[in-house]
Amino acid sequence: MPKLLLDLSPLRNRNYARILLARTISIVGLGMLGVAIPVQVQDITGSTFSVGLVSTVEGVATFIGMIVGGKVVDSTDRRRVILLSRLLGALCFAALAANSWIADPHLTVILLVGAIDGFFGAFATSALLAITPALVSGKQLAAAGALNMATIRLGTVASPAIGGVVIAHAGVGVCYVIATILTLVCVSVLWGLPPLEPAAGEHSGEEDLPSAQGFRYIIEHRLILAVILVASLSSMMGGIRVVFPAITAQSFGGGPELTGLFFTAVPVGALLATAFSGWLGHLRRPLRTLLLLLEASFLSIIGFGVMALYSLPVAAAMGFLVLYGVLSSWADVVQFTLLQTETPDQVRGRVNGVWMAQEVSAESLGALGTGAVGRAVGGAAASVVLGTVAFVGLLGVAAGRSITTEEPEEPEENA
C-alpha cells in the first residue's frame, strides 16, 4: 500500500520543499490572474476576440520564451534566473493593478504585460524543471513529478474560484494586488536557495549549443525524441475543453453549471492520480507504461464522446473525464521522470523548454482542430474524432519508430 500512495520523501530535501512551496504560492496567484484578465478585458472591450487576443499574445510570448530561455537556463545560475523572472512578474502584476484603477484602463497595457510576463515567466518554468533532478535522487524523480502535479492541479481547482470571489466583492484591481503580493512571497521563499549553476559539460560540447540546436540534441537522442513525440499527442488532447459548452447544450440540455462540472472533472481525476502515484517510482518499463497510459487516456475521451453522442447518463460521461484526468496525469509524471533522468544537466533547460513549448503549441492546435470539427459535426462527434486520431496516431508513432525498445537504464542516486 505505501508504494501505491503519493511518495512524500522528496520533501525531506529542504531546498526542494522551498521550490514546491513557492510553486504552490505562485500557482494560486497565476490562477487568480487567469480569471481577472479575461474579466477585465471583456469589461473594457465587450469583445470575446479581444479576450482571445490577450491569451494568444501571452501564449506566443510563452512559446518563444521557452525556446530562448532554455539556453539562458543552461548557461547561468538558475536561482538567479528564477528570482529575476518572478520579480519582473511582480512588477507586471503591479502595473495591471495600477492600470485597473485609472479612469480608462488601457488594453495595450494588458497586452504588453501579458507578453512580458509570458516571455520571462517561461524562463522561470524551464529553470524550475531543470533544477529538480539536482535536488532529489534519481529514484525520487517520479515522486517529485507527482508532487509538482499535485500543486498544479490544486491551484487549477481552487485559485479560479478564489479569484472569482475576490473580483465579485472587491474588483479586479484587488485581485492583481493579491497576485503581486503572492509573487513577492514566492520570491522570498526562493531567496534562501543556494546558487544552482548548471553542471559542467561532459557530453561532446552540448553545453555550447545555441538555443535552436537544442532541437538537434533531441532529434539525436531517440528516447527523448520518443517522449516528446508522444507528449505532443497527449497535449493535443487538452483541446477537448473547447467542446464542453457545446456538449452540455447539445447532448445533455444542461447549462453553465454542468459545463463547470465537465471542466472540474479532469482536475479531480488528476488529484486522485497524484494521491495514488507511488507506484510510478518503481517502473521497470517506463516508456511502455507511458504508451499504455496514453492509449487508455485516449480511449477514455472516446468513451466520453460516445456517452455524449447518444445522450447516455451524464454521470457516465463525467466518469470518463475523471478517468482521463487520472490516466493523463500519471502519463505526465512518467514523461517528467523520463525527460529529467535521461537529459544531461547542461542541456536540461533547453530540453525542458522544448517540452513545455510543444505542450503550449500542441494544445492550441488540438483546440483549434477540435473546435473546427465540432463546428462541422457537433461537440460529441468531435470528441470521438479527437480521441480516435490520437489513439491511431500514437500506435503509428510507436510502430514507426519502434520506441518501445528505447527503455532507459535504472536511475542512479544523486551523490
Q: What is the pLDDT of residues 225-259, one digit of tens each?
A: 888 888 888 888 887 887 888 888 889 998 767 87
Can you give the pTM of this predicted structure? 0.75
Q: Which fold has domain 206-415?
A: Growth Hormone; Chain: A; (1.20.1250)
Contact of 74 with 350, CB cutoff 8 Å: yes
- pLDDT, residue 33, reads 87
Contact of 319 with 191, CB cutoff 8 Å: no
Q: What is the pLDDT of residues 280-290, one digit of tens each?
A: 878 888 889 99
Q: Which three cell numbers stand for residue 335?
A: 514523461
- pLDDT, residue 392, reads 92
Residue with cell 533544477: 131
- pLDDT, residue 320, reads 97
- pLDDT, residue 112, reads 96
Q: What is the pLDDT of residues 288-333, one digit of tens each?
A: 999 999 999 999 999 999 999 998 999 999 999 999 999 999 998 8
Range scoring the smallest mean pLDDT among 193-202, 255-264, 276-285, 367-376:
193-202
SS3 47: coil
Contact of 390 with 298, CB cutoff 8 Å: yes
Packing angle of the helix pair 244-252, 379-401 (nearest 10 deg) = 130
- pLDDT band, residue 3 (cuts 50/70/90): low
Does the pLDDT of residue 187 top 90, yes or no? yes
Range scoring the smallest mean pLDDT among 6-15, 100-109, 286-295, 312-321:
6-15
Share of the chain above pLDDT 70, in %: 90
Does the pLDDT of residue 79 top 80, yes or no? yes
Q: How far apart are CA 211 and CA 357, in angstroms?
A: 13
Q: How far apart are CA 284 and CA 384, in angstroms?
A: 32
DSSP 109-171: HHHHHHHHHHHHHHHHHHHHHHHHHHHS-GGGHHHHHHHHHHHHHHHHHHHHHHHHHHHHHH-
Phi-psi region of 311 (alpha: psi -120 to 50; beta: other; left: phi over 0): left
What are the helix (H) ranges across 378-414? 379-401
Residue with cell 508532487: 147
Residue with cell 521550490: 19
Contact of 283 with 9, CB cutoff 8 Å: no
Q: How far apart are CA 126 and CA 214, in angstroms?
A: 13
- pLDDT, residue 173, reads 93
Residue with cell 485609472: 102
Give the type of residue at 66.
M
When pLDDT is averaged across residues 339-346 and rounded to a whole number, the result is 81
When pLDDT is averaged across residues 54-80 and rounded to a whole number, the result is 83
Does the pLDDT of residue 25 top 60, yes or no? yes
Does the pLDDT of residue 184 top 90, yes or no? yes
Q: First and final CA of the chain: distance in angstroms?
A: 29
Give ranges for CATH 1.20.1250.20 in the chain: 1-198, 206-415
Does the pLDDT of residue 405 top 60, yes or no? no
CA R_g for the chain = 21
- pLDDT band, residue 268 (cuts 50/70/90): confident
- pLDDT, residue 406, reads 57
What are the helix (H) ranges across 171-313? 172-190, 214-220, 222-236, 244-252, 256-275, 286-309
Average pLDDT over all residues of the chain: 83
Residue with cell 538555443: 211
Q: Which residue has the higher pLDDT, 90 or 259?
A: 90
Residue 107 CA to chain centroid, in angstroms? 26
Range scoring the smallest mean pLDDT among 75-84, 199-208, 275-284, 360-369:
199-208
Who contacts 283 (Cβ-Cβ below 8 Å, separation ≥6)?
Answer: 142, 289, 334
Q: What is the pLDDT of residues 196-235, one digit of tens each?
A: 887 655 444 444 445 555 677 788 788 888 888 888 888 8
Q: How far apart are CA 201 and CA 345, in angstroms?
A: 8
Q: Which residue has the higher pLDDT, 122 or 399?
A: 122
Residue with cell 512518467: 334
Q: Give the CA distances from residue 377 to residues 5, 165, 300, in Å, rounded to whole numbers and listed in that order.
A: 42, 37, 20
- pLDDT band, residue 137 (cuts 50/70/90): confident
Q: Note the CATH architecture for domain 1-198.
A: Up-down Bundle (1.20)
Residue with cell 473546427: 372
- pLDDT, residue 402, reads 54
Q: Which residue has the higher pLDDT, 134 or 26?
A: 26
